Every structure is written in structure tokens, then in C-alpha cells.
Amino acid sequence: MKHTIQFPVAACAALTFTCALFAQDQPASKPMPSTPDYCSLGKLIGATVRMHPGAEARREAQQDGETAKKPEGKIDDVIVDCHDGSLQYAVVSWGGFIGIGDKTVAVPVSALTWIPAHERFELAASEDRLRALPAFDLSQARKNGLDAAYETLHTQWRTTGVAEASGTAGDVRDASGTKLERDVKEAGREVKEEVKEAGREVNEAAKEAGREIKEGAREIKGEARAVEGTKFYLVPARYMCASEIDDYNVYAGNEKFGSVSDVLIDRSKRSIPLVVVKRGGALGMGGTEYLVPFRALHECTSGDERVHCLNFDLKKLDTAVVYEKPKSGIVEAEAARRALDTDTFGRVDYKGAPKTDMKDGR
């Protein structure tokens, strides 16, 4: 029997005002490169993010005849869609000193562009716009449920898209060319008050959504959510943090198959296509590593234990693609292609019934 959780959408009227801060100058969408651009998850988390300077910084630099320096932050984590491995929101922090006084927000991964020559991401938003966003508490979001956090973020961003930082109130001039600084400052104070109120309502909505999801999860776990022939239950949540993926052991049935030793990112498609699973060995020595499609992993639980479940016959292991790290890069393109083309480890069709022996989707 298939069960579906209806995730509530946070309806916050004050967010309309917050969203208006972003609804400017929509840039033309850029076509995704067809060639995969693989990197390790360790290259994504902690990566530098450069954003457009705010209006005040640009104004001060212009007075000095200089170009405003672009503020920099870093990616703390990424929210991933477990159904297809797509990277949805990047948790970005900036503005503090050695981690003190940082502000943390969640931005759509589609707003980030990788710049290979500088080994960093460019964010299509200004610092002013990020400061106008409610702060994002990842720890609290995980406690409430990332599905609830996703709905809140989706509500916050869906009417705004990703906007270029090509003009703010601070650049407004009257007919004589005089900057309307007094009006700008007053408008800024009003914006801050509205944003604070919006943030409070967003937090309340997220908490309520989290409570409803947890109740739904408990109900489903008590019914037909078991992985057949095992002690595990499928986790009903759709979203997870990328940093969690290598925290869990991998099981095939009731047998421990191995552990995730690396997570491969395709920056060109903004997704996680593959993970590296190590089987055998001891104390980090020996063993064999396999390229496993992310779609084949099913997040499961048994009591307090969280694991990834694979649904495949160990007798078919000789058809799996063995991972060998190349001298350059993180994975050979041909090996990645073969691993993605094989169904050795099974897959789930999330539009309908699972194509495995599991009774329901992830």
C-alpha cells in the first residue's frame, strides 16, 4: 500500500514584502553545459562564494574613484532532493570574522555559477538582498524536518526567481542629480522592520510544518513502510543535507555492504549523480570501492540507526563498476557513464511504484 505525506506550504503574508526585494532585473537563463563537471563533495562544502557589493559599499567606492570589493562567503552545506539528487539550496554564511558574527542564509543553487579559473562560485545577488533575508538556522531546520524548511524556502523564493544586483534604492537620484539619501535611509529602516516581522512568521510556519511532517512520519512508519526481508523502514523525508550522505553505512538486505567514502558532484548539472561505496578492508586499508548511482540509495532507519539501503543481489556484484581514482580529476568520465547506465544496484521510480522490492519510495 502506498502512502503519501502532504507537506504543508508556509503561507506568510509578510514574505510578499521580502520577496519584492529580489524581484528585479531577471537575468537570461544560461544553458547547462552538456559535459559533466565532476568534483568531490569536499570541494563544494566550504567553497568560496562571491556576491555583488551592496549599495553603500558601491557608493563609498565611487566617491573614492574605486570599484567596490565583492564580499565573500562560503558554502556550509547543501539541501539535496533525494528523489533525483538535484542540489536545491546552498546554505551560505558570510560577514563575520573566523565564524563569529556571520549571517547564514539559504539561496537557490541555480543562483550560483562556478568560475573554474578562480575556483569559486559567483552568486547572482547583492549583499543587500541577502541581508534582507531571514537568517537560516540549519540545525533548527534539521530538527523540524528539512522538508518543512524546503517548503518555507520555496515559498520565499518562488515568486522572485534569481535577480541580478544591478540597482538599489541607494542609486536613486532626483532630477537635479542629487542622491535622495534621507529617503533611502528611512526606506531602509522600514525594510528592516518588515523583514524582521517576515522572519518571525517564517520561523513559526517552519515549526508548524515540521510538527505536521513528524506526525505524518510516525503514522507511516507504523504501517507498510518496511523494506521487505529486512529490519529497516524507509525514511519518508524527501530532502537531506549533502553532508549527511557519507555519515551512514550501506546495507544490502540485512547485510552491511560497506560505507560511503565519497560523494560525487556534477557542478554542470547541479546534482549528485554518484557516490563511492567502499566494501571490505579494515582501518581504512584494503577493500574495494564501487561507483553507485545516488538514485539507488534509499535512506532507511532501524531504531536510532540511519543507513542507506541498496536493493540488489550480491551475486551481481561482478557487474558493478569498480572505482579507481584517476591521476587527474575525481572520476573517469567513461567509468561514470557506465556506472550511471547500469541497474546493478536497482533504482526507484518516484512517479509511480518503486522498481525494487521495497514497498514504497524513499
pLDDT at 349 over 80: no
Tens of pLDDT along 225-282?
678 778 899 988 999 999 999 999 999 988 999 999 999 999 999 999 999 999 988 7
**Highest mean pLDDT out of 77-81, 91-95, 283-287, 347-351:** 77-81
Question: What pLDDT is attached to residue 162?
Answer: 53
Domain locations along the chain: 22-214, 233-341
Residue 97: predicted pLDDT = 58
Residue 122: its pLDDT value, please?
95
Q: Do domains 22-214 and 233-341 have the same CATH topology?
A: yes
- The confidence score (pLDDT) of residue 16 equals 38
The class (CATH top level) of 233-341 is mainly beta
The CATH number fitting domain 22-214, selected from 2.30.30.240, 3.40.50.450, 3.30.870.10, 3.40.50.2300? 2.30.30.240
Q: Picking from 47-56, 88-97, 166-175, which range would have the lowest pLDDT averaged per residue?
A: 166-175
Residue 238 contacts residue 217 (beta carbons within 8 Å): no
User: What pLDDT score does 200 carry?
Assistant: 53
| Residue found by looking up cell 554564511 in the block | 93
Average of per-residue pLDDT across 194-210: 49
15 has a pLDDT exceeding 90: no
- 181-221 and 146-157 helices, crossing angle to 10°: 150
**Does residue 282 or residue 92 have the better pLDDT?**
92
168 band by pLDDT with thresholds 50, 70 and 90: very low
0.85 cut: is pTM over it? no
Please give the pLDDT value at position 282: 77
The whole-number pLDDT of residue 228 equals 79
Lowest mean pLDDT among 104-108, 120-124, 147-151, 201-205: 201-205
